[in-house]
Amino acid sequence: MQGAILALKSGMRILIANDDGIYSPGIQVAAEVASRFGEVRIVAPSVEQSSMGHAITHARPLHIKVARVADFEAYRVDGTPADCVALGIHTWGDVDAVVSGINLGLNLGNSMWHSGTLAAAKQAALLGCRGVALSAPSSEEVSGFASIRPWVEDVLGRLLRESTHRLLNVNFPRAPKGIAWTKQSVRQYDGHVFPAKDPMGRDHFWVHPIPLEAADEGSDRWAIEHDLVSITPLRLDLTDEAELARQLAVT
């Protein structure tokens, strides 16, 4: 076992990114765990970029500056999570895998569309690297990730060893009891907007999507509800294959 870890460690370059920002406690845990399996470098946003999705900065230049995260080599970028991965891979070169997170907040179902954590892993996949997104309940900030840390080690070790996976979205429940491979839950959301008043009496709004239906069995939401670590394999191609085949058949 130890030999396998050492053999794996010798050759892997693992870039660590996130969307919570370089000073989020989750990124240090991700770096600590990943450093057991390879050489680690952190490149992350200077400030929080949660729910920025796969935005990239195209109308102004980006800057990369040295940062301090424990004893890791770390850099902060004045851009988005996807920008950080692009710069990280460009400046380091030969990156084998990108680990994004650990996000403070789950990224399940509908959240995958706006998650910056997942976007960093997607950017890795777009650039030919493997990408793994890690997300945990936001309460882990208080507990220091103690309850999920052994599971992060187990899951990341497995996933980094298997090179067949291109893009994975991993979510950890508060107290995991096991691991489940899952599909993305795509049940309808109500897109709810909550109106309220600010202290000056002006209208303001909170966008907070709420699932309309119970989680479907075998989905990421279902796994978390059953205290299972959810691992969802993803692809970059959004094409609706069935509809494409139908259209090609009638034209």
User: Which residues are near Mn ion by CB under 5 A?
Assistant: 19-20, 50, 103
**E strands within the chain?**
13-17, 39-45, 64-69, 72-77, 97-104, 130-136, 167-171, 178-181, 193-197, 203-207, 228-233
Nearer to Mn ion, 18 or 182 (CB): 18
Nearer to Mn ion, 9 or 113 (CB): 113
Nearer to Mn ion, 38 or 230 (CB): 230
N-to-C CA span, the chain: 57
- Min CB(81)–Mn ion separation in Å: 9
d(CA 118, CA 167): 9
- Min CB(18)–Mn ion separation in Å: 7
- Min CB(63)–Mn ion separation in Å: 22
For 83, the enclosing helix (H) or strand (E) is helix 81-92
Nearer to Mn ion, 50 or 184 (CB): 50
Structure tokens at 138: 């936001």
Which residue in the shown chain puts its C-beta closest to Mn ion? 50
Residue with tokens 């959301």: 189
- Min CB(182)–Mn ion separation in Å: 20
